[in-house]
Amino acid sequence: MKFLILLFLLTQMALAQDFKQEAPKVAESLKKNLMGNLQRELKENGTLKAIDFCHTEVTKLGSKTNQEFKGKYQFGRTSHKIRNSKNEPQDWILPYLEKFQNKKQTDEGTASFYHKTKQGELIYVEPLWTAPMCLQCHGDNISKNVKTELLKRYPTDKAQNFKVGDFRGFIWVKEK
Ligand code: HEC
């Protein structure tokens, strides 16, 4: 019996270890797909068109990452200041948003981390920081036509007035 318990514990530890190795790769894949394509879209079609991209393409790029990791994970983006209410934070992440909301990218204690749920599941959480290219749609000097379009699509938009290096939100990754 003791042997079985030990075996069970070792298996659990090995599974947690696998997740810890793979979850950052899932976040990396999402960021790489998104940033690279967004940069190209901004350059080729301009900010206004890229708003569409940020809405529709994100779902498609998510499916691409999903395929890459054989549908093993659930993931999403959230923030203390959200644009799309679909990205509303879940309760478990609220204390972390509170802790990070005034942080800058260069501050101490801003590394990615794992949250353990009451059921003992692990969730990988990675902070997202505001880069110069994000300002076109999330900064404090958004051009008038972009602002109008954002307001039309997201009447309750709070995701503005960010500065370079500001905490913008989290990507989270969880096993299904
Ligand atoms: C072309 C405009 C545009 C640019 C540039 C842009 N975003 Fe966004 N962002 C949006 C839109 C539009 C949404 C809402 C997406 C949706 O409807 O699902 C959004 C949503 C988000 C969200 C999800 C949380 C929320 O507020 O709904 C995060 C996080 C985010 N953006 C971070 C960034 C970061 C970091 C950058 C720079 C690397 C960036 N964005 C660049 C337009 C943009």
CB 128 within 8 A of CB 168: yes
The pLDDT score that the predictor gives to residue 128 is: 97
Residue 122's beta-bridge partner residues?
Answer: 116
| Ligand 1 probe mutation, 83, 105, 163, 172, most atoms within 8 A of CB | 83
Q: How far is the CA of 38 from the centre of ligand 1 (A)?
A: 10
Question: Which residues fall within 8 angstroms of residue 144, CB to CB, at 6 or more apart?
Answer: none
Give the range of the structural domain holding residue 151, as residue numbers without chain letter. Answer: 2-175
Backbone angles phi, psi at 95, to 5 degrees: -60, -35
Q: Read off the pTM.
A: 0.93
pLDDT digits (tens, 9 = 90+) for 13-35: 888 888 999 999 999 999 988 88
Number of domains the chain is built from: 1
Q: How far is the CA of 54 from the centre of ligand 1 (A)?
A: 6
pLDDT digits (tens, 9 = 90+) for 53-91: 888 877 788 888 999 999 999 999 999 999 999 999 999
The pLDDT score that the predictor gives to residue 3 is: 84
